[in-house]
Structure 1
Amino acid sequence: MDETVRAWLLAQLGPATDPTDLDTRYARLRTARAVALEVLVERRALMLAEPLRVTVDGVVTVDQTNNLTGTERQIAGLADIVGPDETTTVGGDGVPDLVAVPLVPVRRRW
């Protein structure tokens, strides 16, 4: 993984993310977007494994629902982002959304 990809991943996932873990995932998954998606899905699963809201009456309330919502939005937003190691985005049907097509002049028949 080059520095551009690493910087993009850290921008998406936060500076506290372990670079060694990112390198390992990138070697296995081969795209920065796939690495970001896998890390975010794991973070979401960890949030869902714990109670999202804990209240101790009259003392404290801890509410993680906004963190979960933000993570889910970030996961959904990855579909619209082109990673630094990608040239086109791919839609849900597996077909590229953007394709470069050369224009060729048509010969006219008279």
Structure 2
Amino acid sequence: MTGEVLHWLQALLGSDTPPEELASRYERLGTARAVAHEVLQERIAQLLTDPLKVTVNGIATVDNSPNLTALERRLAQLDTATAPDDPPAVGPATMSVIALHARARR
């Protein structure tokens, strides 16, 4: 994994994931996009294991719904983001010139 890929992953996921873990995931999965997808899916799953909102009347309320929404939005944006290890975009096919000739009249 190159430094550029590591910086892209840290910018997308935050710096709380150790670079060694990102590198091992990259070796296993093969692309930065797959690594980011897996990490975001794990974070969403972790949020869903506990209740999203807990209220203790008159004392405190903890609401993780906005966090879940933000992670789901980030996961959706991942499909349109360009990763540094993505293959170069293929441009339009080269055009060929075909000469047209009028047919002889019968």
**Normalized against structure 1, the TM-score is what?**
0.85
Q: Counterparts of 1:102 and 1:30 in 2: how far apart (Å)?
A: 28
Q: Using the alignment, how far apart are the partners of 1:48 and 1:104 within structure 2?
A: 52
By how many angstroms is 1:100 displaced?
2.2
Q: Matched residues in 2 for 1:61 and 1:9: separation?
A: 32
Separation in 2, partners of 1:101, 1:63? 48
Deviation at 1:101, TM superposition (A): 3.5
Structure with larger RCO (C-alpha < 8 A, sep 6+) = 2
Shift of 1:105: 3.1
Counterpart for residue 103 of structure 1: 94
Aligned to 1:95: none
The percent of aligned pairs where both chains have the same amino acid is 47
CA distance in 2, matches of 1:80, 1:17: 22
Deviation at 1:34, TM superposition (A): 0.3
Q: After superposition, where does 1:14-93 map in structure 2 within 5 Å? A: 14-87=14-87
* Letter of the structure 2 residue corresponding to residue 23 of structure 1: A
Structure 1 residue 102 displacement after superposition: 3.9
Structure 2 CA distance, aligned partners of 1:60 and 1:14?
28
2:3 — aligned with what? 3
| SS of 1:87 mapped into structure 2 | coil
CA distance in 2, matches of 1:56, 1:46: 22
Q: Give the number of equivalent residue pairs.
A: 101
| 1:17 Cα deviation after fit | 1.4
- C-alpha separation in 1, matches of 2:82 and 2:30: 14
